[in-house]
Amino acid sequence: MAKINENYLKLPQNYLFTEISRRVKIFQNENPAAEIIRLGIGDVTQPLPKVCIDAMTAAVAEMGNAETFRGYGPEQGYLFLREKIAEWNYQKRGLNVNADEIFISDGSKCDCGNIQEIFSLDSKFAVADPVYPVYLDTNVMAGRTGNLNSDGRFSGVVYLPCTAENNFNPAPPDEKVDLIYLCSPNNPTGTTLDKAALANWVDYAQKNDAVILYDAAYAAYITEKKIPRSIYEIDGAREVAIEFRSFSKTAGFTGTRCGYVVIPENLYGKTSTGEKVPLKNLWLRRQSTKFNGTAYIIQRGAAAIYSDEGQAQIKNLIEYYMTNAQIIRAGLTAAGFTVYGGINAPYIWLKTPKNLSSWNFFDELLTKYNIVGTPGAGFGPCGEGFLRLTAFGSRENTLAAMQRLTK
């Protein structure tokens, strides 16, 4: 038998969402009449914007004609899409990012997971806690950690606690790390890093020769003007930060698949002998070796959001979910819960009552109110004692869930 990568065995066996569906299934079997409302998973429910459908339909027609047919596209993504992203998401906001610094992908999960490959295996990394599990798990798989300890933490990892006490703005560690994973707006807490906190991180990265891996998948959900949508709003960030973005939550592309990474030209890593190497070159090499591009049709669909009409349509979509978020925040507050998030993100992070554990509160919500949330402990040790609800459900289900809780 071939030897396996044993790092995979360090990961906990039960994937969070598998355990949730197991518990929901058991409850539904025992209570077939219960009408369960799912506010657990982080998937969107509303259809794609019309501009995207029209652009993809036109692209399908092009593929059916020998004159306009396209085969393999550029590994970095089509220039028409990269130029639109640079213009609409960065240059129009006064930020210096150009099309050559953008790499199109089939979604941000793989980018967030793959980026670690271009860094040395002995890099020390820090990760927000709680957060989207992809950053930590992919580093475990790669062998950058020790084993999982009984406190729920892997040895060799620097955890950055995001708590109500620090306003979910973790401070840089006292020790030196090489890589820092931050997510703002954060999944699962729905909270954001403010300008001062982010500037503090950029300063830390400059002083410690570290790289910030900044996941801004929910940037389009930011409603407060003072909250940065891009890390490049911070002076000096171009020398220390990679930014990840996705069309999944912005334009409903979770099943359509398109995302991108920004790696500035002047962001460098170094060899063991101290030579500077542009990180952008390594990523291009990695992508052109292991990835053959996102479908032309999908890239046309994504590019369609960059017009006045497209922006108006995604604004509507986001407002639909953010109205759900307001309904959830108001409902939970009226029911006496302590809630965070939901103002600049489609996630509401609520403190469990009576100091219940995340999973015990999950069970109580399921059995008493027939509502499915996501236990906070599944996102990191500091998520214990919290539960995540999402605003991605339908209006009807969101209202019904809050009625059940406030009654």
Ligand X SMILES: *Cc1c(COP(=O)(O)O)cnc(C)c1O
Q: Please pick, from the candidates 20, 38, 42, 115, the single residue that binds ligand X as defined by CB under 6 A.
A: 42
Q: Cβ 297 to ligand X, closest distance in Å? A: 17
Q: Please pick, from the candidates 40, 49, 77, 107, the single residue that binds ligand X as defined by CB under 6 A.
A: 107
The CA-based diameter of the chain, rounded to the nearest angstrom, is: 67
Residue 400, judged by CB atoms within 10 A of its CB (0-12, 13-18, 19+), counts as middle
- 253-286 as b/e: b if 16+ CB within 10 A: bbebbbbbbbbbeebbbeeeeeeeeebbebbbeb
Q: Please pick, from the candidates 78, 103, 125, 132, the single residue that binds ligand X as defined by CB under 6 A.
A: 132
Q: Please pick, from the candidates 183, 234, 304, 314, the single residue that binds ligand X as defined by CB under 6 A.
A: 183
| Site membership for ligand X, residue 215 (CB under 6 A) | yes
Q: Cβ 252 to ligand X, closest distance in Å? A: 11
Q: Is 174 helix (H, G, I), strand (E, B) or coil?
A: coil
For the window 350-369, what string marks contact with ligand X as x by the rule CB under 6 A? --------------------
- For ligand X (CB under 6 A), the number of binding residues is 15
Q: Cβ 72 to ligand X, closest distance in Å? A: 22
| Nearest to ligand X of 130, 402 (CB atom) | 130
Q: Say how many C-beta atoms besides its own lie within 10 A of residue 143's C-beta.
A: 14
| Site membership for ligand X, residue 182 (CB under 6 A) | no
| Nearest to ligand X of 246, 344 (CB atom) | 246
CA geometry: angle 69, 75, 79, nearest 5 deg: 70
β-bridge partners, 289: none
The helix-helix angle for 395-406 and 308-334 (nearest 10°) equals 10
| Nearest to ligand X of 218, 361 (CB atom) | 218
| Nearest to ligand X of 99, 217 (CB atom) | 217
| Site membership for ligand X, residue 374 (CB under 6 A) | no
Pull the structure tokens for residue 405.
């809780």
| Site membership for ligand X, residue 86 (CB under 6 A) | no
Give the Å distances, CA to CA, from 157 to 13, 77, 160, 181, 197. Answer: 19, 34, 10, 11, 21
Q: Say how many C-beta atoms besides its own lie within 10 A of residue 323's C-beta.
A: 13
| Nearest to ligand X of 137, 215 (CB atom) | 215
| Nearest to ligand X of 248, 324 (CB atom) | 248
Question: Could you tell me if 358 and 386 are in contact, meaning their C-beta atoms sit under 8 angstroms apart?
Answer: yes
| Site membership for ligand X, residue 109 (CB under 6 A) | yes
Which residues ranging from 275 to 334 are in contact with ligand X (CB under 6 A)?
Answer: none
| Site membership for ligand X, residue 187 (CB under 6 A) | yes
Q: Which residue in 265, 303, 259, 302 sits closest to 283, CA to CA?
A: 265
**Binding residues for ligand X (CB under 6 A):** 42, 107-109, 112, 132, 183, 187, 215, 217, 246, 248-249, 254, 259
